């Protein structure tokens, strides 16, 4: 067991953390696109929550109260005019707030995804294992609501993978996560906005491409069946959702897991030096890797919960007895409170909030009980290309 969390330390074997109760490291105890279809505001007849539906919709299931009702928005003509995405023939995330097919008897594989926004949200609890995580389901709901409410993602364009799903294709197994990542970028076109969110365990392992990692370790995310099927490496994620990005397509990945700093293997890291944020080259100095790991003209941006050598916290400090990923909770609150925040402002506020936890921990008895160790994590921004984080507004 290796309890060191410094980014600069090189570890030959997979580094497991020292025993702690609040991290998302494994073995802790707690822890085509055609033009957009027309949209209209709709009020759920069950809970009266307001949300957007495409005009092609004949029926809907509310993601808040799960009630199903007919809609008068849909018509045969609107279906012809709306430009429904033809490339989405995979199983879509209809449970937990998604569009229903025109006929209730239709197979769920008949997708109704439309427009130029698409998201895969994945939260892994790991069942009843000793390294079970408490907050990932809350993280998923938090992120889903953020996409719907703040960034106006159509409900049917969000695929949710959790162990609570009834559809076996939406359980966060390795196969289902990889299938969903392929769905996310399939036939992406200019002006598409794509989001991949992951809440779960992250690890490192010796690199499988010699010389492509500065520290000699590949970053990984852990599906629910990783003990049998293996982890998903940063190289796999890069090849599936980064390299296919065409000109004008933007992908945002938000990874709330340990060792997640370079999970997408992007070319540039944003580091703070002498009080200001600067882009640094993430390519190892003696690497023989070519630019094939980069996009096909699009832009990939990743917000990670911590640096590669750090651990990410799972905490109930902010929401009663409900556990949440620390960075997911802070990120969503900051975005809701500051809808026009820049990337630089977001980074500053994340670091400031975690710094406030450090300062108050030793004078606050409640935080002492919740955080059993110092929260040694620095949220991390990486990108496939440099941009001005001080002026660019954070948008999904």
DSSP secondary structure letters along 116-148: TEEEEEEE---TTSTT--SSHHHHHHHHHHHHH
Task: Determine the Cα–Cα distance for residues 383 and 347; give it in Å rounded to an integer.
Answer: 14
Task: Determine the Cα–Cα distance for residues 39 and 182; give it in Å rounded to an integer.
Answer: 26
Cross-strand partners of 251: 194, 300
Residue-wise burial string across 83-95, b where 16 or more C-beta atoms lie within 10 A, e elsewhere: bbbeebebbbbbb
Q: What crossing angle do the helices spanning 343-361 and 326-337 adopt, rounded to 10°? A: 130
Task: Determine the Cα–Cα distance for residues 349 and 363; give it in Å rounded to an integer.
Answer: 22
Q: Which of 185, 173, 94, 97 is nearest to 141 (CA)?
A: 97
Q: Confirm whether 302 is a catalytic residue.
A: no
Q: Confirm whether 65 is a catalytic residue.
A: no
Question: Of 5, 44, 188, 201, which residue is the catalytic one?
Answer: 201
Task: Determine the Cα–Cα distance for residues 168 and 179; give it in Å rounded to an integer.
Answer: 13
How far are the Cα atoms of 222, 230, 233, 274, 312 from residue 132, in angstroms, in the given order? Answer: 12, 17, 21, 39, 14
Handedness of CA 334, 294, 237, 271 (dihedral sign): negative
Q: Evaluate whether 301 touches 250 at the Cβ level (below 8 Å).
A: yes
Question: Of 44, 258, 270, 306, which residue is the catalytic one?
Answer: 258
Q: Which of 21, 24, 27 is nearest to 1 (CA)?
A: 27
Q: Which of 255, 258, 297 is nearest to 121 (CA)?
A: 255
Q: Which of 93, 73, 191, 86 is nearest to 140 (CA)?
A: 93
Cross-strand partners of 297: 246
Active site residues: 201, 258
């Amino acid at each position: 067991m290796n309890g060191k969390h410094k980014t600069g330390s090189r570890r030959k074997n997979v580094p497991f953390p020292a025993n702690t109760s609040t991290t998302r490291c494994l073995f802790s105890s707690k822890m085509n696109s055609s033009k957009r279809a027309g949209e209209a505001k709709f009020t759920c007849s069950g809970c009266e929550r307001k949300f957007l539906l495409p005009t092609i919709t004949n029926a809907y299931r509310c993601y808040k109260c799960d009630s199903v009702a007919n809609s008068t928005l849909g018509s045969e003509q609107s279906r012809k005019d709306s430009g429904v995405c033809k490339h989405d023939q995979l199983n879509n995330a209809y449970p937990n707030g998604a569009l229903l097919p025109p006929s209730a008897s239709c197979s769920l594989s008949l997708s109704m995804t439309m427009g130029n926004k698409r998201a895969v949200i994945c939260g892994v609890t790991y069942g009843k294992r000793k390294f079970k995580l408490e907050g990932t389901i809350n993280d998923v709901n938090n992120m889903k609501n953020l996409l719907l409410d703040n960034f106006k993602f159509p409900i049917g364009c969000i695929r949710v993978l959790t162990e609570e799903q009834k559809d076996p294709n939406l359980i966060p197994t390795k196969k289902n996560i990889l299938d969903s990542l392929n769905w996310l970028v399939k036939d992406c076109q200019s002006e598409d906005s794509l989001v991949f969110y992951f809440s779960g365990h992250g690890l490192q392992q010796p690199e499988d491409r010699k010389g492509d990692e500065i520290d000699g370790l590949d970053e990984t995310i852990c599906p629910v069946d990783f003990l049998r099927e293996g982890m998903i490496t940063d190289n796999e994620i890069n090849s599936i959702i980064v390299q296919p990005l065409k000109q004008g397509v933007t992908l945002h990945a938000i990874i709330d897991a340990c060792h997640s700093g370079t999970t997408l293997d992007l070319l540039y890291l944003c580091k703070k030096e002498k009080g200001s944020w600067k882009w640094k080259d993430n390519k190892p100095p003696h690497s023989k890797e070519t630019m094939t790991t980069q996009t096909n003209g699009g832009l990939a941006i990743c917000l990670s919960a911590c640096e590669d050598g750090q651990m990410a916290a799972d905490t109930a400090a902010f929401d009663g007895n409900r556990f949440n990923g620390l960075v997911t909770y802070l990120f969503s609150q900051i975005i809701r409170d500051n809808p026009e925040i820049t990337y630089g402002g977001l980074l500053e506020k994340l670091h400031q909030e975690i710094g406030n936890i450090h300062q108050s921990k030793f004078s606050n008895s409640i935080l002492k009980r919740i955080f059993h160790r110092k929260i040694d994590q620095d949220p991390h921004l990486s990108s496939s290309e440099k941009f001005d984080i001080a002026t660019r507004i954070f948008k999904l």
